[in-house]
Chains A and B, each alone.
Chain A
Amino acid sequence: MLEEIPARDDRGLIKLDALVRFARVCSVLPSRTPKPYYGVGDDATIGVEWDLGRFHLEIQVGNDPAVDAIVYEVDEGEPEELPLEGNVGILTFLMSRIVNS
């Protein structure tokens, strides 16, 4: 996953600190995590998202850690949003449940 981000960052928006935080998040994902869709927003955020059957899951990491977030959704319902800080364990739990379901 880490190799994909610089290729998407064609305007050089993402700072090293954000890449390091993104790497930390990736390191807690289960080994069977499917390949996500990657992107870099005009607001200098890294985004990754998965459409996994009934579930939709996204992570955002920005140059400003205050915008780091997890978003998850079931059956196209309203997205639930959590700050990434303090909730990385929930991300691991969600992805583990989804890939094992």
Chain B
Amino acid sequence: MPTEVPEDVPQDCTVYRVAKKAYIKSGGTPQSDCFADKRSEDGSSYYMSVYFSDEMELAGKSILDLQASWGKEYTVLAFTASDLRTQGERLWRDPTGGFPGHGACKRADGSERTRGQKRNLAKVAKVASELS
């Protein structure tokens, strides 16, 4: 097992996004609302929080651990880093001292994600197989 992760997130790394269960539609696909950037309380950052599987694995954490850390109102959606970059997103590691593997996702050009771009992410994302 590797003892560290590369700074650049590998293309095949699974990227998790925590979303409210209420925002998963009856067919099992997420609403576009799940994919918005969030401004930090001090206003210093504005991005969509994600979690990287390689760091989670290194810390011995599972998807179930991630879901449990957020609570039963939440589920976990999965993409690959390649899926997100293909959609024009940029990824970077952003450890917060909380749950391991925290990272950030934002439009590569720094713009705010449009509704259509959120929709495209909703079409790619799947509820993590461990939870479906």
Contacts and interface: CB of A to CB of B under 8 A. Distances in A.
Interface of A: 8, 37, 39-43, 45, 47, 49, 51, 56, 58, 60, 67, 69, 71, 73, 76, 79-81
Nearest to A68: B115
Given A37-B25, A42-B38, A51-B25, A79 B33 contact: no
Nearest to B35: A41
Tell me what chain A mostly uses at the interface: helix, strand, loop, or mixed: strand
- Residue of A67, A71, A76, A81 with most chain B CB atoms under a 10 A cut-off: A71
B32 A49 contact: yes
B33 A67 contact: no
B23 interface: yes
Contact of B37 (A39, A43, A49, A58): A43
Contact of A79 (B27, B36, B37, B120): B120
Contact of A58 (B38, B39, B48, B115): B115
Nearest to A7: B22
Interface centre among B25, B33, B34, B38 (most CB of A within 10 A): B33
Interface residues of B, number: 23
Nearest to A70: B115
A40 B114 CA distance: 14
Nearest to B47: A42
A72 B48 CA distance: 24
Interface in B1-50: 22-23, 25, 27, 31-39, 48
A43 B23 contact: no
Given A79-B116, A79-B119, A81-B116, A41 B33 contact: yes
A47 B112 contact: no
Contacts of A58: 32, 115, 119
Given A73-B119, A79-B120, A47 B114 contact: no
Contacts of B35: 41
Given A58-B119, A71-B119, A39 B114 contact: no
